[in-house]
Structure 1
């Protein structure tokens, strides 16, 4: 990694400056033409995997929030080189084809300006880079070629569930089951993987790095200098308080949906959708106590997915829900002989983004206004509560659902993509409508909220966007 000082960065003009260093920033940089000079500007510093194991996680952002929902709400983001890639769980399902056409198919939300087929080749490239271990769900999510590596060993519960219905499928995962990283140890402590099996920017830096890349760490991007409909560079502030301007032909923002929106607002970007439609999936824990069916002994922390309330379901009045089966022993039963007769599930529930859920600026810093999840999402949860007993191939002795959890660690919305500036902030290549040489990356560009985890799609969208830079 070629690091530069603030003085060195300000002394030259860059072809591309990229804010951030997690999924969207790094995959965008990876896809750029090889002859460009690229500067990554990262607010955090380098914090190695061994440092994380010895000293614990890096700095977690503390966001100012006004929450009127009545439920606790957290927004999770970490500040260091590699960003949230250091602390995710490695779940990488593709979005469903129907996710891209909610309005035309079901009359809710808005359609994406791209389709499943548009993203398919980019998903493939990302899956190869991060060495995805996955199962076959061709009838649900069409594929042109197999996953790079085979799915992890299913848990005992997953094996029984998958035998009972084709809508129970092996999970696709970025924890290794073959490839350049150690095979997953299945100990369930995935937030900081103890053996570095899970894909991160840090352990895959050589694969991702652009040959012309330089890195300015400990420096925050504050705004983009836009004149006459084009970016001329950015304004940054170092951790020791120095503020300077950096010059660039192209600027890309790959921080997160909250910080991207704040940067654009400081840049005096005028757009009614900017900052609005902040969202993420509603997450719910479920415990299913069974008479005979036993869980655990799978090859990684999450080994299965259930598409019963997601694949080709009617989404006109109720949200789609993806079921995740948890192999990590977060909860076991106390009855003698039945400690493993408990299936741990997690529901990831689609939401309809609400304009009033938004990011604003106060004293030049982002403030979140959160009103809560939509009734549409809550009806999706109720549909699962009613239908789940019918898809468990055993007698259920007890069934428990949590309230909506404080976070699913997926910050989305605030600069959504669309056809025009009338209802969106960026186009289908993530270019700012009002300045074509500004790319606004990441899940902030999602117009709607798929139940599927976003990291794979964030990365694929960034690769696709990079093709627009010449």
Structure 2
């Protein structure tokens, strides 16, 4: 660990999650000194697995990740700790982890690339904004990230490639194979793109089907931020834990000169450096910038245009649960193995949101048992109904696009957290664009159930939307400094040595989990920083779009 009395580095990175750690490793390999500051503790996989196994709340994916008083994060079960304040009009119940490795400790390892149309929403469809670069500019960095993590998946996803996946696909579970067979000709069911080993890779074993990817892979078959941090430390990066950064300092020219943090005893430590990179998530990063307001920057650091924290986006979901017409037995293999991708792009995006459809493979035993006991069902009837649910129950959910809207935002609440700092506050809504996509997806749900011989259909109640914890938009990059926070390399418009490496920089949500996009953008930022300091040039853009044809839906429901 770093010596807290002599903290200084060429690059000071705030946050030791998967994105910050992968960028830190890349920078350190050039010989530069790199220091990561992490608010949370350094916890081992063994400790997390132990907490999960001993938890009475097996379906609560946050139970192995308690909130520390010195680095609090949102907890909703068994009761809400009220860390993230809700301003409405729609609740935004984000769950994330403040500890070394970050929230990807309990991700599903989805490592989707955007499709080319995602980069040109305004130009192609007249909604949202365009990214400051296109798919082929980012494609080499997608590949770089995939080769570090060990990613495999189907090539039928709408995302062109210049090189093959570094990893073969994990074997498809029986239930998902049956879905693929029964839906063929109407829907193309493909294996998800995941950072999960199908063979020995980088000293880690292949997936053995534990079916606990969320909250923890007990054998490290899937890549996560804890592994990324170990790789960063091996590359020479220094790490200071229990360092809750609450303020960035600047000089008269607006350059950032120091980051101040509280240790667990609330002593203040000052860290100096040449270049500062805020790599916390899309809620904690804008919160830090807003906390850093002063007489010169009255709205906070990087916020002269009042854009920090705005354009909050995620991927709201609704779902359908039904009983299949045959035994399928969910629960062996990864929890989220396959999906339908045909509605990720198309002219319809001018009118309603794009979406993916994800099938769950989570064992139904725990949920069914809880429901039956609550209903007072025991004995022979209990055994029969539990077997039926475990064998037949299936679930498919939508992963819906959200457009950037400045009124959806993260700001500071009047309430203080356990450290005495203002809590983050979420202003969120579901607009008609996303709602219309949800209604379109429900028609797909009904068709899927029909093709699976489904009965006992249970749609999400009252059109309520679940949150997917894909926080983006709050540090949006762009070409117009009036409506964005940073440029195409994540550099703050107002501070020449301040950069962002976070899913917060993503200017649109697209339809895919935000992690790989955030990593690829950060690796591109790293290449820019290295080249600017006399290192190798950035990777050349790809030419994957030559002759590329986007996905076309196989089935269009009647209006």
Common fold, TM-score beyond 0.5?
Answer: yes
Q: Is the 8 A contact 1:359 1:366 kept in 2?
A: no
How has the CA–CA distance of structure 1 residues 296 and 244 changed in structure 2, closer, same or farther, with 3 Å as cutoff? closer
**Following TM superposition, by how much is the alpha carbon of 1:381 offset from its aligned partner in structure 2, in angstroms?**
0.8
Map of 1:173 onto structure 2: 194
Q: Is the 8 A contact 1:123 1:457 kept in 2?
A: yes
472, 487, 490: which one pairs with 1:427? Answer: 487
Q: Is the 8 A contact 1:322 1:451 kept in 2?
A: yes
Q: Partners of 1:369 and 1:382 in 2: how far apart?
A: 25
Q: Is the 8 A contact 2:17 2:229 kept in 1?
A: no
SS of 2:412's partner is: strand
**Following TM superposition, by how much is the alpha carbon of 1:422 offset from its aligned partner in structure 2, in angstroms?**
0.6
Q: Is the 8 A contact 2:404 2:508 kept in 1?
A: yes
- Superposed counterparts of 1:50-61, under 5 Å: 50-56=46-52, 57-60=64-67, 61=73
Give the TM-score normalised by structure 1: 0.91
Map of 1:185 onto structure 2: 208
**Following TM superposition, by how much is the alpha carbon of 1:466 offset from its aligned partner in structure 2, in angstroms?**
0.9
User: By percentage of residues, which structure has more strand?
Assistant: 1
Q: Partners of 1:113 and 1:282 in 2: how far apart?
A: 25
Which range moves more in the overlay, 274-283 or 425-434? Answer: 274-283
Map of 2:265 onto structure 1: 240
Task: For residues 122-165 of structure 1, give each alpha carbon's deviation from its aligned partner in whole angstroms, at most 9, with x where no partner exists.
Answer: 11111111111322226x21112221221122233432444514
The yes-or-no answer on 1:360 pairing with 2:360 is: no
Map of 2:94 onto structure 1: 75
Give the TM-score normalised by structure 2: 0.77
Q: Partners of 1:360 and 1:73 in 2: how far apart?
A: 13
How has the CA–CA distance of structure 1 residues 208 and 336 changed in structure 2, closer, same or farther, with 3 Å as cutoff? closer
Q: How many residues align?
A: 463
Map of 1:4 onto structure 2: 2
SS of 1:54's partner is: helix
- Superposed counterparts of 1:59-208, under 5 Å: 59-60=66-67, 61-62=73-74, 63-69=83-89, 72-137=91-156, 140-163=158-181, 164-165=184-185, 167-178=188-199, 179=201, 180-190=203-213, 191-208=215-232
How has the CA–CA distance of structure 1 residues 210 and 271 changed in structure 2, closer, same or farther, with 3 Å as cutoff? farther
How has the CA–CA distance of structure 1 residues 297 and 359 changed in structure 2, closer, same or farther, with 3 Å as cutoff? closer
**Following TM superposition, by how much is the alpha carbon of 1:383 offset from its aligned partner in structure 2, in angstroms?**
0.2
How has the CA–CA distance of structure 1 residues 161 and 152 changed in structure 2, closer, same or farther, with 3 Å as cutoff? same
Q: Partners of 2:458 and 2:308 in 1: how far apart?
A: 39
Q: Which runs of 5+ in 2 are unaligned?
A: 53-63, 68-72, 75-82, 293-299, 369-383, 415-420, 534-559
Q: Which runs of 5+ in 1 are unaligned?
A: none
Moved over 6 A (4+): 335-338
Q: Partners of 1:377 and 1:236 in 2: how far apart?
A: 39
Q: Is the 8 A contact 1:101 1:112 kept in 2?
A: yes
Map of 2:354 onto structure 1: 320
SS of 1:25's partner is: helix
Q: Partners of 2:153 and 2:426 in 1: how far apart?
A: 38
What do you get for the CA RMSD once the two structures are aligned?
A: 2.4
Map of 2:507 onto structure 1: 447
